[in-house]
Amino acid sequence: MNQITRRGFVKATAVASVAVGAPSILSAQNAGNKLHIAYVGVGGKGATDLGATSSHKKTVTVALCDTDKNILNGQLRSKTKAGKKNFTQAKGFTDWREMLDKLGNKIDAVVCSTPDHMHAPVCVSAMNLGKHIYCQKPLTWSVYESRRMAEISKDKGVITQMGTQNASKQGKQLGVELLKANVLGKVKKIYAWSDRPIWPQGGPNNFGSDPVPANLDWDKWLGVAPKRAYKDKYPKKWLNRHWKNKRVGRGSVYHSFGWRGWYDFGCGAVGDMCCHIVDTAFYAYGLTHPLTIIAEPNGVSADGEMCPASQTIHFTFAGNKHTVGDTLPITWMDGGLKPSWEAIGFPESKVAVPQNWMAVVCENGTFMLEMGGGMKFSTAEAKAKARTFIKTQTQIKSQSHYHSWVDGCFAGKKVIADFEFGGNLTETLLLGTLASKFPKMELKWDPKAMKITNSAKATGMLRRKPRKGWEVKGLDD
């Protein structure tokens, strides 16, 4: 397979970004017929995204791309329950740049399910060509990338969706309306927490290196990230000492699962789960940017390369018509940390506080919302008020997050988690990831200037230069 040169790719995307203007909903040859989609990253969550999106009857899978040939070939050979090949028309690639160069005029949309550090390069390159985008959460790896993804998607007029699948479920949407209507009164404070990470984080982590397997293009997997040696599995002694009694995530150091815990590639537990849990508050209360961020990390690696084993992050937002005070505090907790029943305004109980929930403490009771849409209320009165309100919301139904994006591409209409919303939400949570590198220091955020006003060092970490040869127009110029 011939590899596209970097010069050729930059030239192609630069020309396209000028020529496209407002992108067509579908390429001329497919207008009103099918949405032709290319997928970048088709293992793990990417396999789920591939299956869910391609199940829409008005889609055609044009191309599959993955840096792991075993994963790629497995998908190209996959079969339906009836024994037929799933993707007979799809072409396989290990380099998404080559895919866009060779098939750009045959692609209407791109689904990106790579590790976090490659989301922005892939998506911005595709948006430069006028392609509609579905991208997994968190939307980007850096704060700067989140801002640019939101701006570029708006400028190009493409239909976008961030992969917060639960946002399209009935329970989550009912939660938004319940909070927006102040059914339990104005909000005092919010807690959100997760059992993640379920992959190793913390350190020390000088694990050495292993030969790169023949099926993996390690250089393309690294992409924009700094070059480093490949390592396959965690040493057993390290796992037994630092990941004791935890069986999940004990395998790969980087590819194909462990990357989430490394600052070079992932955004830690807050990046993985905050989008799923706190998004409801952003929808309901119209939250934009935090004023301040303070992180209290635990189990920080000695060399600072891995995200902390657990942490508490305190965000402070400006108050509005939904808040009791002039500010709204939101506390995030992960790594097994979680608030007590008392802290969130519930009666004490022998039953443990469940994981992966948000608690919105209001004037007249607390509303708890699970990331999948389950609900709990602190009092019988609060529950009764909520039930009465919910009965009026007959128009709210669950829908496929994937299919609604496809439908949006045909209709030319925004969908529930477009990049303007997703960029704003991701920008906030990534400030939390950044704050974990400055333990217990209050970071003051100026969103207009895009600066941490009290730390030049932290401001310098809002973005990074990609490895030479991986620059993308509109992102790195």
**Superfamily of domain 6-167+404-419 in the CATH hierarchy:** NAD(P)-binding Rossmann-like Domain (3.40.50.720)
Work out the pLDDT band at 28, boundaries 50, 70, 90: very low
Q: Which two tokens stand for residue 467?
A: 């490895």
Task: Give the phi and the psi of residue 327 in degrees, each rounded to 5.
Answer: -135, 160
- pLDDT at residue 23, as a whole number: 47
Work out the pLDDT band at 43, boundaries 50, 70, 90: very high
Region 265-294 average pLDDT: 97
C-alpha–C-alpha distance, residues 2 and 407, integer Å: 35
Going from the C-alpha of 339 to that of each of 86, 222, 457, the distances in angstroms are: 46, 37, 32
**Sequence letter at residue 395:** Q
Region 447-460 average pLDDT: 98
Work out the pLDDT band at 21, boundaries 50, 70, 90: very low
Region 443-457 average pLDDT: 98
Place of tokens 């509303």: 367
- pLDDT at residue 5, as a whole number: 41
Q: Please, are residues 185 and 364 in contact by the beta-carbon 8 Å criterion?
A: yes
C-alpha–C-alpha distance, residues 81 and 457, integer Å: 54
Work out the pLDDT band at 430, boundaries 50, 70, 90: very high
Work out the pLDDT band at 27, boundaries 50, 70, 90: low
By residue count, the chain amounts to 477
Q: Which residues contact 41 (CB under 8 A, 6 or more apart)?
A: 65, 66, 112, 113, 114, 115, 118, 136
Going from the C-alpha of 153 to that of each of 11, 84, 330, 382, 407, the distances in angstroms are: 20, 37, 28, 40, 17
Task: Check residues 471 and 300 and name the one with the higher pLDDT.
Answer: 471
Q: Which residues contact 143 (CB under 8 A, 6 or more apart)?
A: 427, 430, 431, 434, 450, 462, 463
Going from the C-alpha of 100 to that of each of 33, 77, 207, 383, the distances in angstroms are: 21, 22, 36, 52
Going from the C-alpha of 295 to that of each of 215, 301, 310, 370, 433, the distances in angstroms are: 39, 15, 10, 23, 8
Which of 48-62, 83-97, 171-185, 373-387 comes out lowest in average pLDDT? 83-97
Specify the pTM: 0.93
> Which DSSP letter does residue 179 get?
H
Query: 10 in helix, strand or coil?
Result: helix
Work out the pLDDT band at 12, boundaries 50, 70, 90: very low
Side-chain-side CA neighbours of residue 61 (13 Å): 26
For 201-241, write each residue's pLDDT tens digit: 886 667 889 999 999 999 999 999 999 999 999 888 888 87
- pLDDT at residue 4, as a whole number: 38
- pLDDT at residue 375, as a whole number: 98
Place of tokens 């919105």: 360
> Which DSSP letter does residue 186 get?
S
C-alpha–C-alpha distance, residues 283 and 277, integer Å: 12
